[in-house]
Amino acid sequence: MKASPSISAARSALIGVGTADGLAVIVVNYGTPDLAVQAMASVLDAPPFGRRVEVHVVDNASPGGDARHLADAIAARDWSDRATLWAESRNHGFGRGNNLVLRHLAQRADPPAYVLLLNPDAKLLGHALADMAHVLDQRPAVVAVGAGIALPDGTPVSAAFRFPNPLGEFLQAANFGPLSRLFPTALIPLPPNQPEGPVGWVSGAAVLFRLDALARIGFFDPAFFLYYEEVDLMRRLTAAGGVIWHRPQARVIHVEGAATGVRSHDPKPRPVYWHQSWLTYHLRARGRVGGLLAATALLAGLAIDAVACRLRNRAPAAPPRSFRDFARHVLWPLLTGAEVPHA
C-alpha cells in the first residue's frame, strides 16, 4: 500500500514538486484517520500560492484499518498526484515516523526547500501555509516557523515557549500564581497572545522547517518515541545558529490530545514514555547534574501544588500519580545512573 520512494520521487518530478520552490507536508497518523484527512485537506484544498505542495501521510501501524481509510480518502478526493501514503508495519512514534519521510526527501535529486510537520489533529486555516513560507522566504536566519494555535471553540492557547529550565519546571508544577508572577521570565509557556518574533521553540502541531537545516543536524533524535522530540530538535537547530520564529498570524486549529490521548489537566496518569522523553531531553540538554536539578525542582513544585490544593479542598492540577511516577521513572534513573529505556 505504501508508495515506494522511487515511485514517489518520480511522481513528484512529473508534477514539478521538489524544485527549490517545492514544499512538502508530513502528517504522522495513529488512530485518528478522519482528523488526518481533515489535516491533509487543509493543505491540499488551500488557496494556491505559487508553490508546488506535496503531502506525505505516515500511518504508524494503526490497529483500526487507518491505512486503508487514508488510501481510500486519497483516491476519492483525487489527491493521488499530490499525496503519498506510507503504510508502516510498526509504530515508530512521532519523530522516527517523520524521519522516514524527511530522509527520503533529503536524498531526492530535487528536494523541497521547506517541510511542514502537521499533527493529524490540527488543520491550517486560510493562507496559513503561505504565511509561514513567506517568513522563511524573507528571513534567511529563520530555520523554523510556528503558527498561532486555537482550540476548536476558538480559544487561543500557548504556541510558543522558552526552553525547559529548572525554575520553569518548578513553577509549572507548582501551579501557584503568586510564585509565577515573581519569576515571569522563567515560565516555559509564553502567553497565547505572544507577539510575532523569535522564541525558544514552537508547538509541533504545525511548524514549517527548512529541510537543509534539518538535514545538517540529522533530523529528529530517534531516542524519543513521543513528547519532547520537537523541543530537542529546535534546541539543536538553535545551537547550530538557527532562529525559531513564532508567527501568530498563521492560524491553526488543534484538537488537543486527539492523536496522543494526553491533554492538559488530564485526569489520567501520564504514560511512561512521557517520563522517558522528559528525562532524555534534560540529559541531552543539561547533562545528568542539570537533569537532576530540573527533576528535583519539578518534584518540589508538585509537592507545593499538592499541599496548596489540599488546603483549598481542590484536586491537584497535575495528573494522578505524578509525584510517584516521576520519582520512579525520572529521579531514580538520574540518581542511580540507570540507562533510560526507549520505545
State pLDDT tens for residues 316-325: 888 999 999 9
Q: Give the ranges where the chain is alpha helix by DSSP (H).
A: 5-15, 33-44, 66-76, 94-107, 128-138, 166-174, 177-182, 211-217, 229-239, 272-311, 322-326, 332-336
Q: Is residue 5 predicted with pLDDT exceeding 90? A: no
Nearest C-alpha neighbor of 87 from the set 60, 63, 69:
60
Q: Stretch 208-235: mean pLDDT, rounded? A: 97
Torsion of CA 70, 72, 78, 81, to 10 degrees: 60
Least confident of 21-30, 90-99, 220-229, 250-259: 250-259
pLDDT in tens, 65-85: 999 999 999 999 999 999 999
In order, the DSSP letters of 143-206 are EEEEEEEE-TTS-EE--EEPPP-HHHHHHHHHT-HHHHHH-GGG-SBPPTTPPSEEESEE-TTE
Percentage of residues in the chain with pLDDT exceeding 90? 83
In this structure, are residues 183 and 171 in contact, taking their beta carbons and an 8 Å threshold?
Answer: yes
Each residue of 142-155: b (16+ CB within 10 Å) or e? bbbbbbbbbeeeee
How many CA atoms are closer than 13 Å to the CA of 162, on its beta-carbon side?
A: 15
* More reliable by pLDDT, 19 or 34: 34
Q: What are phi and psi of 57, to 5 degrees?
A: -115, 120
pLDDT in tens, 231-290: 999 999 999 999 999 999 999 999 876 555 555 555 689 999 999 999 999 999 999 999
> Which residues, 6 or more positions from 221, have their beta carbon under 8 angstroms from its beta carbon?
95, 229, 232, 233, 236, 280, 284
Find the helix packing angle between 229-239 and 94-107, rounded to 10°.
50
Q: Which residues pair with 246 in a beta bridge?
A: 146, 197
Banded pLDDT at 213 (limits 50, 70, 90) = very high
Q: Which residues pair with 311 in a beta bridge?
A: none
Q: Is residue 186 predicted with pLDDT exceeding 50? A: yes
pLDDT in tens, 135-172: 999 999 999 999 999 999 999 999 999 999 999 999 99
Q: Is residue 17 predicted with pLDDT exceeding 90? A: no
**What does the pLDDT read at residue 3?**
46
Q: Provide the mean pLDDT of the chain.
A: 91
The answer to whether the predicted template modeling score (pTM) of the entire model surpasses 0.85 is yes
**What does the pLDDT read at residue 1?**
46
**What does the pLDDT read at residue 138?**
97
**What does the pLDDT read at residue 263?**
52
